[in-house]
């Protein structure tokens, strides 16, 4: 996939810009707080429908303005895809999506049009953070590839919050206990769908990440991923989840929250058999994220049949020569958007189109 136009209108500190990126490397260079990450955020927003740094959409609208808008147009094997996201301040519907000229009814319709991999310093949290970070990594990846996955995930989340609400009611009024049944059914049904895809994806990612990591460490380190779940190695996940939910009802009512299900799952990320989160050095943790991100890139490219775009925000300066080179080799065929404060951060990674970023203005060099 190749983005051939990006238009921002009242998005963050951009009043209005349009750029035509090159097919290879696009470098956004400037001092701090000029608007480099805002560009990456805009592109990512059109791929996944949400910001990578805020859950509040209106933060992305330029201050004092009622609306903000991003349009990304990209060429793919099957033709041109254009996604527009319109953000509205203080409106009931805060986010409107257009695919070409057509207004989308649901966020899920966004997926499948644009496809991107974002790599930023915060991704270290995939290794160092809690299970929710790792689940989000998988969920975002799989949602971009499958609208169905996204809908299953959404329905699971909805059923979970409904069941928790009912648990609170039941703790006051025990006769309401049977009203838990339909929510258990729904959790088990959607949970089984989500779990199956997450497990399959983790196994495949594990193979890809291992190979990236071997390359990065001259064969010294073996990186493995394993999906950690109460429902692993179960033939009928749906049935087992149903039984567990039923068995844990008393506890759940007492705690007023659902204690079992795929919202508790995790991925174990190990180097030479040891948990990277706990035992990995800073350097190993950084290499592991890089391998993971490269694996994500291959995974998405395989499933889509073409490369996604790659967004590298502030990561180049953090990589040593060796890793930078490995990354450079790997991305030579991929349209990349990279931000940095100094051109020397890029080393020999290659040259491409250079944009100077200053106070929400872009100048192509």
Ligand X SMILES: Nc1ncnc2c1ncn2[C@@H]1O[C@H](COP(=O)(O)OP(=O)(O)O)[C@@H](O)[C@H]1O
Q: Give the neighbor-by-neighbor strand order of the sheet with 223-228.
A: 223-228, 266-271, 274-275
Closest approach of Mg ion to the CB of residue 338, in Å: 12
* 37 touches Mg ion (CB under 5 A): yes
- Residue 63 interacts, among ligand X, Mg ion, none and using kind-specific CB cut-offs from 5 to 8 Å, with ligand X
Residue placing its CB nearer to ligand X in the complex, 62 or 238: 62
Query: Do β-strands 353-358 and 25-29 pair in parallel, antiparallel, or remain unpaired?
Result: parallel
Closest approach of ligand X to the CB of residue 290, in Å: 20
- Residue 30 interacts, among Mg ion, ligand X, none and using kind-specific CB cut-offs from 5 to 8 Å, with ligand X
Residue placing its CB nearer to ligand X in the complex, 30 or 280: 30
Residue placing its CB nearer to ligand X in the complex, 37 or 229: 37
For 79: left if phi > 0, alpha if psi spans -120 to 50, otherwise beta; the answer is left
CA 292, 295, 299, 300 torsion: positive or negative? positive
Subset of 7-36 contacting Mg ion (CB under 5 A): 36
Instruction: Tell which one of 1, 7, 9, 12 touches ligand X (CB under 6 A).
Output: 12
Q: Which stretch binds Mg ion (CB under 5 A): 37-45, 161-169, 241-249, 284-292?
A: 37-45
Distance CA 61, CA 97 (A): 15
How does DSSP classify residue 280? -
Residue placing its CB nearer to Mg ion in the complex, 53 or 128: 53
The H or E element that residue 364 is part of is strand 361-364
Instruction: Tell which one of 26, 34, 287, 336 touches ligand X (CB under 6 A).
Output: 34
- Residue 35 interacts, among ligand X, Mg ion, none and using kind-specific CB cut-offs from 5 to 8 Å, with ligand X
CB distance 95 to 83 below 8 Å: no
Helix residue ranges, H only, the chain: 36-48, 124-128, 131-145, 147-172, 181-216, 237-247, 249-255, 276-279, 282-304, 321-330
Report CA-CA distances (Å) from 294 to 8, 171, 199, 223: 28, 47, 19, 13
Closest approach of Mg ion to the CB of residue 37, in Å: 3
Instruction: Tell which one of 21, 35, 116, 191 touches ligand X (CB under 6 A).
Output: 35
The H or E element that residue 73 is part of is strand 67-76
* 33 touches ligand X (CB under 6 A): yes
- Residue 32 interacts, among ligand X, Mg ion, none and using kind-specific CB cut-offs from 5 to 8 Å, with ligand X
Closest approach of ligand X to the CB of residue 30, in Å: 6
Report the Cα–Cα distance between both ends of the chain, in Å, rounded. 24
How many residues touch ligand X under the rule CB under 6 A: the total is: 15
Site string for ligand X, 207-246 (x = CB under 6 A): ----------------------------------------
* 38 touches ligand X (CB under 6 A): yes
Report CA-CA distances (Å) from 356 to 146, 224, 361, 365: 36, 40, 8, 7
Site string for ligand X, 47-86 (x = CB under 6 A): ------------x-xxx-----------------------
- Residue 38 interacts, among Mg ion, ligand X, none and using kind-specific CB cut-offs from 5 to 8 Å, with ligand X
* 32 touches ligand X (CB under 6 A): yes
Return all residues near 351 (Cβ < 8 A) that are at least 6 apart.
25
CB distance 293 to 123 below 8 Å: yes
- Which spans of this chain sit near ligand X (rule: CB under 6 A)? 12-13, 30, 32-38, 59, 61-63, 357
Contact residues for Mg ion, defined by CB under 5 A: 36-37
């Amino acid at each position: 996939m190749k983005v051939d136009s990006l238009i921002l209108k009242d998005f963050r500190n951009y009043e209005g810009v349009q750029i035509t990126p090159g097919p290879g490397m696009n470098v956004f260079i400037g001092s701090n707080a000029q608007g480099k990450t805002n560009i990456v955020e805009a592109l990512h927003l059109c791929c996944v429908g949400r910001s990578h740094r805020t859950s509040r959409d209106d933060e992305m609208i330029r201050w004092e303005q009622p609306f903000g808008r991003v349009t990304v147009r990209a060429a793919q094997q099957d033709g041109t895809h254009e996604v527009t996201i319109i953000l509205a301040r203080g409106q009931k519907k805060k986010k409107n999506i257009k695919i070409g000229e057509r207004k989308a009814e649901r966020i899920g319709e966004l997926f499948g049009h644009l496809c991107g991999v974002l790599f930023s310093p915060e991704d270290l949290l995939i290794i160092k953070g809690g299970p929710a970070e790792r689940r989000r990594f998988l969920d975002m990846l799989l949602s971009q590839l499958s609208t169905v996955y996204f809908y299953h995930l959404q329905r699971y989340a909805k059923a979970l919050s409904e069941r928790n609400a009912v648990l609170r009611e039941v703790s006051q009024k025990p006769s309401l206990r049977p009203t838990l049944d339909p929510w258990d059914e729904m959790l088990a049904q959607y949970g089984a769908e989500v779990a199956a895809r997450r497990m399959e994806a983790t196994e495949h990612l594990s193979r890809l990440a291992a190979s990236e990591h071997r390359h990065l460490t001259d064969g010294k380190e073996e990186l493995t991923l394993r999906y950690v779940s109460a429902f692993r190695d179960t033939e009928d996940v749906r049935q087992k989840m149903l039984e567990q939910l039923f068995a844990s009802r008393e506890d759940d009512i007492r705690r007023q929250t659902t204690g079992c299900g795929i919202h508790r799952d995790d991925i174990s990320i190990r180097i030479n058999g040891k948990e990277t989160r706990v035992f990995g050095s800073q350097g190993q943790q950084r290499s592991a994220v890089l391998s993971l991100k490269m694996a994500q890139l291959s995974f998405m490219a395989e499933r889509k049949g073409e490369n996604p775009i790659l967004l590298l925000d502030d990561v180049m300066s953090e990589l040593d020569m060796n890793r930078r080179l490995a990354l450079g080799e790997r991305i030579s065929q991929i349209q990349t958007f990279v931000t940095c404060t100094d051109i020397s951060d890029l080393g020999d990674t290659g040259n491409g189109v250079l944009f100077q970023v200053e106070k929400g203005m872009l100048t192509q060099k």
